[in-house]
Structure 1
Amino acid sequence: MPQFWPWWNCGNLRVGFRNFSKSIVLTFTSLLDGFTLQGVNLLITGFLGVAVLPIFATLRTVANTAMQSTMFLLNPITPDLVRFHVGKEWRKLTATFQLFWFTTGLFINFGLLAGLFFIEPVYKAWTQGKLAFDRSIFVWLVIGVIFRTAGAPFSVLLQSLNRLRVQFIISFLRGTIALVLSLLLLSRFGLAGIASSLAVAELVCSILIPYYFTRIEFNEMEGDLPKKDIISAGFSALACSLGLGSFAFFENIINPLFISSLIGCLVIAIMQWTALAPEIKNKLLALLGPRHIARS
């Protein structure tokens, strides 16, 4: 476009420096995330040896598969989050949160519990039996993913709004909590101690802190966060975590705690469905066909 040439025409050093400062914050945030990941790997190799790193990395890859599914559900509604925030349509924003927590509660949390029946055979087939499957490590890693999924609407909203200072604070605290706790628990619990440290870091930095800053955003819109839906999403994550815990502590998957957790996730998903707005229900049912709409 000719009006923008030459590029230095009508330049503003103050604006340029401000944008440069913002990019520096974003760069440091990315470096912190990478430092956390590499720092955990260095702790494992330094204290436990290089031989155990593939086990941890492979189990973490399996656990993060659920996070990919979460982003698959969240990415299509991300533009709506920004649009509703800009328009101060906080009720539509909360409705979007409700939809996300319902779908993840049903497909992610309930799906993770159902997947425990065949995760070990699939893992052994994938690794050709060369890497051991440690239930406790796997469970802690998946619990971390569950926490990250529950707080994903908060985190994605803050990222989409370019709240760089908030992102830096979250990345800094996530790395600090993960590495410090890992150092404290490593000698006694080994890889499970590191995995549990990552789960605690996700609880604080994917749910608690993003919730605090998201509440500030809603206050500026003179709106209210959906407390009941946040509580139901929290109970769904708790039920799934307890079911996963039973997988680590009991040899037999079918135990009272697991069955209770499975039923709990399903019941909470039904409650979340009933809380959805009628127009959202109709859109979801439309994906299944007009016959389901007629029944509803």
Structure 2
Amino acid sequence: MLVPLYLSHWSVVTYGVWLAIQALVSIMSTLDFGHQEFLGYEFLRIGRDNRGELSKYIWSGISVGLLISLGQILLISIFLALGVLPTLLGNPKVNGLGLLHEAGLVLLLQGFTWLISTSITGLLFRALAPFGYYPRMIWWGLFGYIATALAPVTAVIFGAGLLTAGIVAASTTVLVSLPIYWDLFRLLRKEEIHFSQPSIKLGYQNFIRSLAISGKGLLENARQQGARLVLAPLAGAAGLTAFSTMRTGANVSLQGLNTVINPLMPELMRFLHQRDQERSEAAFGTVWFVLVALMAPAMVVLQAVIQPLFSLWTRGQIPFDPLLFATLSLSVLVYAVAQPAIAVVKGNNLLSAQLALSALAAVIVVGGICAFVPILGILGGGVSLLLAEVAAMIGYRVVAQRWLLENGLLWPRQHFFIALTSVVIATAALAALVWAPAGKWIVVVGAIGLLYANLWRYWNALPSLATQHAMRILRSFPGFNNLYSANKV
């Protein structure tokens, strides 16, 4: 939604630099984020019954988190002192001292903002999750995202350059964190989670154990945000902007998928630990239902209508590449197929498998971009991401199936292959839309018919628990209840 506003007031190059800064911040915060993720699972393990141990883990973790954040600021300072920023921004046109100087200051501001606003709150969000505050924490997160997204773009509309937008974004993030801190500490008092003397030994042990997750996160970032950093030197800031905007549709679908997956994770872990085959299959089935019923058909329809909307959206500054758009959409569908397997591997802390598969995917992305972009342009980035997702999906499925068998559970093979069938149908439809655009509505109608025939097959294969949850998801969409009631009549 904000892209047209940025591109109406900034050049493609300036916006590309802004995106590159966000990618750098994401990668440099990986160590702290991995530490938070590890402790989040520890908090779930400890639960609400041992508040003393939980408090000790919280405050030891906060101490380590602050040290990590200070290390990030030092790393950014070294980055700037060594003069490597122009290479990462990736276009000779940005080598003017003005834009480079502003980019460096914005990057440094982001480091301090993470220290003040994210390092502690991220841990406390996770610590309160076992007490039933997960939805509340997500609402706070949504409030923060909206404020920090709107503030800089509002400044840009009023004529702000890169540095001013960065200052506004940092200031807004800090201001938003103040009521969040107040609420978090109020909830800690309410739940009788008191301050505990940090343990250097415990903090160090947890940090060392979290390095595996941080390493996995770094490799995941190389597959996601890292693609931007590798693309920037090869395709330039303008090419990076084109790739990122073309990827927006896929990212929106991914966020929609995460709204189902993230709340399911605690329940899925409980079902797996209880060796509850039926409820585990219901959780898996709910994730794949989103793919089969919503994501795959939506991707086909979006491919058919996106081109004129994209030109309007980007103010005509970025040419539309239908094949790249289709490739990026397909990579998200493959990622969605892999989600139940990823949940099994991630939720049970199978760290060696996570590291190996993340490394494989990262190598494919980075190596593929280096190999394909000089030949195919930014399409090479999309092809690399798709190949990485396919490799990761196969690997996660093998590891998850093995773990389930070792623990007396079965991989839902039938549901998996039906979900995969939807991806195959969508792939054929996307290819037809790219290479035969004149008959796009025939393709769309035919593909939707096949996809919903496959949905009917999937629905009949689901356990009753999964169909009940799927109906709750559908009823959350406006107008569904009226349509459902009419069909029953």
1:105–1:37: structure 2 CA closer, same or farther, 3 Å change rule? closer
1:226 to 2:226 alignment: no
1:282–1:143: structure 2 CA closer, same or farther, 3 Å change rule? closer
Letter in 2 for 1:254: K
Q: 2:366 maps to which residue? A: 179
1:277 to 2:448 alignment: no
Q: Which moved more, 1:167-176 or 1:274-283?
A: 274-283
Q: 2:333 maps to which residue? A: 146
Query: How far has the Cα of 1:46 moved from its partner?
Result: 2.9
1:92 to 2:279 alignment: yes
1:169–1:123: structure 2 CA closer, same or farther, 3 Å change rule? same
1:202 to 2:395 alignment: no
Q: 1:115 maps to which residue? A: 302
1:70 to 2:257 alignment: yes
1:35–1:285: structure 2 CA closer, same or farther, 3 Å change rule? closer
Matches within 5 A, 1:44-63: 44-63=231-250
1:212–1:280: structure 2 CA closer, same or farther, 3 Å change rule? closer
CA distance in 2, matches of 1:255, 1:16: 59
CA distance in 2, matches of 1:246, 1:49: 31
RMSD: 2.9
Query: How far has the Cα of 1:178 moved from its partner?
Result: 1.2
Q: 1:243 maps to which residue? A: 429
Q: Which moved more, 1:152-161 or 1:64-73?
A: 152-161
Q: Which moved more, 1:262-271 or 1:277-286?
A: 277-286
CA distance in 2, matches of 1:261, 1:113: 8
1:163 to 2:350 alignment: yes
CA distance in 2, matches of 1:186, 1:284: 41
CA distance in 2, matches of 1:87, 1:169: 27
Q: Which has the larger radius of gyration?
A: 2
1:118–1:38: structure 2 CA closer, same or farther, 3 Å change rule? closer
For 2:304, what is the secondary structure of its paired residue?
coil
1:142–1:284: structure 2 CA closer, same or farther, 3 Å change rule? closer
1:141-177 C-alpha deviation (Å, 9 max, x unpaired) = 1111111011111112322223222222222111101
1:193-239 C-alpha deviation (Å, 9 max, x unpaired) = 2211110100111x111101111221122121111111111111111
Identity of aligned residues (%): 21
For 1:204, what is the secondary structure of its paired residue?
helix
For 2:317, what is the secondary structure of its paired residue?
coil
CA distance in 2, matches of 1:275, 1:2: 46
Q: Contact between 1:101 and 1:233, CA under 8 Å: does it hold in 2?
A: yes
Q: 1:125 maps to which residue? A: 312
1:253–1:195: structure 2 CA closer, same or farther, 3 Å change rule? farther
1:5-37 C-alpha deviation (Å, 9 max, x unpaired) = 5555xx9x5x76653332111222222233444
1:258-278 C-alpha deviation (Å, 9 max, x unpaired) = 544332211111111111223
CA distance in 1, matches of 2:429, 2:239: 26
For 2:252, what is the secondary structure of its paired residue?
helix
1:146–1:282: structure 2 CA closer, same or farther, 3 Å change rule? closer
1:221–1:129: structure 2 CA closer, same or farther, 3 Å change rule? same
Q: 1:213 maps to which residue? A: 399
Q: Contact between 2:223 and 2:385, CA under 8 Å: does it hold in 1?
A: no
TM-score (norm 1): 0.86
Query: How far has the Cα of 1:42 moved from its partner?
Result: 4.3
For 1:128, what is the secondary structure of its paired residue?
coil
Query: How far has the Cα of 1:125 moved from its partner?
Result: 2.2
1:33-58 C-alpha deviation (Å, 9 max, x unpaired) = 33444553344333333332211111
Letter in 2 for 1:145: V
Task: Give structure 2 stretches of 5+ with no counterpart.
Answer: 1-50, 57-195
Q: Contact between 1:59 and 1:137, CA under 8 Å: does it hold in 2?
A: yes
Letter in 2 for 1:108: M
CA distance in 2, matches of 1:283, 1:58: 34
For 2:396, what is the secondary structure of its paired residue?
helix
Which one of 103, 114, 127 corresponds to residue 290 of structure 2?
A: 103
CA distance in 2, matches of 1:19, 1:45: 35
Query: How far has the Cα of 1:118 moved from its partner?
Result: 2.5
Q: Contact between 2:304 and 2:440, CA under 8 Å: does it hold in 1?
A: no
TM-score (norm 2): 0.54
Higher relative contact order (CA 8 A, sep 6+): 1
Q: Contact between 2:426 and 2:447, CA under 8 Å: does it hold in 1?
A: yes
CA distance in 2, matches of 1:142, 1:284: 23
1:94–1:70: structure 2 CA closer, same or farther, 3 Å change rule? same
Q: How many residues align structurally?
A: 291
Q: 2:438 maps to which residue? A: 252
Q: Which moved more, 1:263-272 or 1:94-103?
A: 94-103
